[in-house]
């Protein structure tokens, strides 16, 4: 087992956090030394699913006063995967962290917890009060879940639609629409007629869309048709 000599002479497991190693790392997450807490959270991330016993401690670490500890704790929960599903409420709160990098780590983590984080990610993708990059990360996370996140199809399809008429909300930013089209290629099926219709409209020559969005729509349609 590969190990790293951490701050203050502590030996931290970085390739597999097991048994006593996890217990020791959990203790180190409570250290007064910031560097020790950072190293412990990072080591638990490296342990992946084998760090599952640390989930309660990592949830608490999402409130740490140090930005890096919070970020590494979110990343560790994502690395643990579906067995960290109890962290969904805490990660949802962390989407409002004061630091953008922590918010993004939480959004990525939610996308790795299986079906548990889907509703939170859908809500984030739809929330136009949120930072565009955060919403894009949520969309990417949904796309990475494949058929498991099929319930996100209506929300992502709505992002592709350009509002019509005066007084309507503006269309979603182009990079979000590209991300939504890309994700729909992994989520939608041949039975999602409205989605297919919207994607087809984006590929028409008269459609006033960017080349990137047109390409993403074309690629999504090809994938959906293969998945019939």
Phi, psi of 12 (to 5 degrees): -115, 130
Element (H, E) at 117: none
Sign for the CA dihedral angle at 7, 56, 107, 96 comes to negative
pLDDT digits (tens, 9 = 90+) for 85-131: 999 999 999 999 999 999 999 999 998 998 889 999 999 999 988 88
* pLDDT at residue number 158: 94
Predicted confidence (pLDDT) per residue in 156-192, tens digit:
999 998 664 444 566 778 899 999 999 999 999 999 9
Alpha-carbon span 176 to 156, nearest angstrom = 9
Residue 20 confidence (pLDDT)? 54
Residue 224: name the closest of 150, 159, 158 by CA: 150
Does residue 58 register a pLDDT over 80?
yes
Contact indicator for 118, 145 with CB cutoff of 8 Å: yes
Two tokens, residue 77: 């929960």
Which pLDDT score is estimated for 228? 60
pLDDT in tens, 6-40: 443 444 444 444 555 899 999 999 999 999 999 99
Q: Are 97 and 106 in contact (CB under 8 A)?
A: yes
Domains of the chain, start order: 1-101 (1.25.10.10)
At 44 the pLDDT is: 96
């Amino acid at each position: 087992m590969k190990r790293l000599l951490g701050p203050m002479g502590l030996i931290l497991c970085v390739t597999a956090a097991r048994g006593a190693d996890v217990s020791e790392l959990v203790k180190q997450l409570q250290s007064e030394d910031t560097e020790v807490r950072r190293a412990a959270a990072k080591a638990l991330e490296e342990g992946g699913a084998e760090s599952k016993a640390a989930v309660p401690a990592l949830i608490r670490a999402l409130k740490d006063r140090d930005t890096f500890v919070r970020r590494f704790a979110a990343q560790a929960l994502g690395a643990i995967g579906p067995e960290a599903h109890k962290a969904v409420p805490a990660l949802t709160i962390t989407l409002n962290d004061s630091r953008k990098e922590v918010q993004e780590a939480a959004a990525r983590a939610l996308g790795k917890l299986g079906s548990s984080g889907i509703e939170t990610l859908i809500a984030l993708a739809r929330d136009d009060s949120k930072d565009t990059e955060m919403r894009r990360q949520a969309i990417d996370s949904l796309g990475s879940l494949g058929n498991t996140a099929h319930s996100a199809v209506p929300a992502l399809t709505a992002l592709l639609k350009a509002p019509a008429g005066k007084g309507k909300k503006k269309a979603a930013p182009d990079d979000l629409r590209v991300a939504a089209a890309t994700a729909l290629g992994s989520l939608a099926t041949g039975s999602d007629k409205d989605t297919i219709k919207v994607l087809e409209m984006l590929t028409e020559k008269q459609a006033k869309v960017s080349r990137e969005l047109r390409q993403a729509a074309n690629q999504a349609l090809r994938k959906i048709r293969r998945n019939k």
